[in-house]
Structure 1
Amino acid sequence: MLRDIDLRLLEIFCCVYEKKSLTEATKCLHASQSTLSFHIKNLEKQVGQKLFYRKGKSLVPTTIADRLYDYAKELMDFKLRLIEDIGRYSGKRGGLVRIGASSIPGNHILPELVGKFMEDYRGNVSVELVIGDSIDVYARVLRGELDFGIVGYLPEKGRVESMQFYEDRIWAVANPELEERTYHLEELKEVPLVIREEGSGTRRKVEEVLMRYGVSIKDMNIVATVGSNEAIKGILRYVVGFSFLSEYAVRKDNFLVKLRIANFEPVTRRFYLIRDRSRPVPIIAQELIEFLILNSKTMF
């Protein structure tokens, strides 16, 4: 019968569970794989159940691990709130904030804002910024792996608390060899298209707008599907084709040109700041959220 459990082992377990890899977990826990493996085996002895199975280089959680993770995350969140609360009464402000962001806010908007916020705390705050596609960030916020996220697409509005953040415009951009003429949407079906992956908020928004014009992305001449805006820009240096990219992504680009499309305006969209409505946000994360909202009205 389980009588006690080591909270430090649960902290290690949470990281290994989220990373699904001992190799990746070493980066956030700053311990060797052998040490982490030893701790996981000790936890398995305490629980009396197998927690992971190895599949190639990845670790697959067992059913009991899934259940344990839910409780362990609650304990870790409680620990963070406790440390922060005691810190407030002792006059020390700070802590860890875990943020997720899709590629545009993660690469072009948040770094400067987060840097200014951290400067105010003079080393008392630590930030983990995870950059992924909108669907991945949304899911990780719901799983409690992130305190909040900023995304360009909301898969489901009801499950999270969301507020509008920055506005963005998505332009049709192309290799300079396509600059000379104006295209109709039907003609673009023959032109090579480099597009973001399916979980991308940029792609979702573009697909939504094209459908209003009666055009499906599946009818386009897609020659490459990639996971980053930088990859798209790199490919279009050699492929005489086009893509749809955020204004932030092309702001400092001196190679690509805006593609002229008859009766087609740049796509406007919003980024959303999201958090799990059922999970309390740590005090320091709430302060960062308030800082971002305030500055979103004054910057850019």
Structure 2
Amino acid sequence: MNILKLRILMMIDKFHKATDVAEALQIKQPTVSFHMKSLEKELGVSLFVSQQGRIMLTETGKKLLPYAKQMVALEQEARQTVNEHTEQSQGQLHIGAESISGTYVLPSMMAKFAQQYPECQIQLEIQSPDKVRQLLKQGEIDFAFLNDGEYSSEHTVVEPVASDRIGVIRSMSMEYTSKSMDALGPEMLAKGTWVRYSGPSVVDPYSSLIKPHLEMNSWEALKQVVSNGEALAFFPACGVLRNESSDVPSVEWLPWPHAEGQNERYHINLLYLRDTNLSMIQQAFLDFTRIEGLEDQRS
């Protein structure tokens, strides 16, 4: 008993003519008649009867009708479920992020999401905050990850998803008479050898406190410089506390409590355009971000 035969039974009850059923199903009229007879033969009962040029259901056919409707409805529901899952799994995501979240936070999150949706194609584009905002406004990316800043709430939804801190990194091999935070007191601003991240970021207010000896636009390159010498740098905690893969870390992250007027924490925000019809995979990613979240780096 296949679904097509049950559909024909339902449509005979609706149209009462094999030609109308054939037209509705876009098949030939002899095919409709064949399946009608095949269903009767399969069940061993009479389901259809001709009355004055119209095909009617017999009493047995009428009793079969509600079951046919249930089975066809279940088949449609099953197809819809499979199609939705396929759309989720085979969709595409284009994500834009500024340097910190794009380098240190999103990769691990994207890896987890890709495990759940292995057929989804995910593209991450790391750009300056202004460029990321522009890409989102133009609809060239689905989601943006940006740190604290001024965002237009009229056309953009902004959801905080994590928080992080700015501190100072120094080489683990540096010789200090004290390993306490006092070793990184305000006097280090003037006499220390500092490396500065040259791109726009939430570290900018801290970097303005120093006169850097070196500048570079790569967080990892900056970390390498610090780890191989006696330089210091203001650095996001997530770049060290969350991503240090070596058993023996090359740099040490310490909080900087002396920068007056600076917030202790900053937020990482998820942005997307308001009033946008999200695809299945986009909604799945949004739900994943909300449920899984981006864990705070360290309280």
Scaled to the shorter chain, the TM-score interval is 0.5 to 0.7
Query: How many Å separate the matches in 1 of 2:234 and 2:157?
Result: 28
Query: How many Å separate the matches in 1 of 2:124 and 2:80?
Result: 23
Corresponding position of 2:216: 226
Q: CA deviation at 1:218?
A: 4.0
Alignment of 1:64-75 (within 5 A): none
> TM-score with structure 2 length normalisation?
0.58
Corresponding position of 1:156: 151
Corresponding position of 1:129: 124
Give the structure with higher Rg (CA). 2
C-alpha spacing 1:105/1:263, structure 2 compared with 1 (3 Å): closer
Residue 101 of structure 2, aligned match among 99, 105, 110 = 105
Corresponding position of 1:240: 230
Corresponding position of 1:52: none
C-alpha spacing 1:110/1:183, structure 2 compared with 1 (3 Å): closer
Corresponding position of 1:203: 203
How many pairs were matched up?
Answer: 203
Alignment of 1:217-296 (within 5 A): 217-218=207-208, 220-251=210-241, 252=244, 254-258=249-253, 263=258, 267-277=264-274, 279-296=276-293
Judge conservation of contact 2:166–2:203 (CA < 8 Å) in 1: no
RMSD: 3.2
Do structure 1's residue 93 and structure 2's residue 87 form an aligned pair?
A: yes
Query: How many Å separate the matches in 1 of 2:227 and 2:112?
Result: 35
Corresponding position of 1:114: 110
Determine helix, strand or coil for the equivalent of 1:220: coil
Query: How many Å separate the matches in 2 of 1:112 and 1:179?
Result: 34
Q: CA deviation at 1:256?
A: 1.8
Corresponding position of 2:192: 191
C-alpha spacing 1:192/1:154, structure 2 compared with 1 (3 Å): same
Q: CA deviation at 1:186?
A: 4.9
Q: CA deviation at 1:163?
A: 0.6
List alignment gaps of at least 5 residues for structure 2.
1-78
Corresponding position of 1:33: none
List alignment gaps of at least 5 residues for structure 1.
1-85, 211-216
Q: CA deviation at 1:260?
A: 7.4
User: What is the aligned-residue identity percentage?
Assistant: 19
Judge conservation of contact 2:162–2:295 (CA < 8 Å) in 1: no
Determine helix, strand or coil for the equivalent of 1:93: helix
AA in 2 matched with 1:195? R
Corresponding position of 1:143: 138
* 1:7-30, Cα deviation, whole Å (9 max, x unpaired): xxxxxxxxxxxxxxxxxxxxxxxx
Q: CA deviation at 1:295?
A: 0.3
C-alpha spacing 1:260/1:151, structure 2 compared with 1 (3 Å): closer
AA in 2 matched with 1:145? E
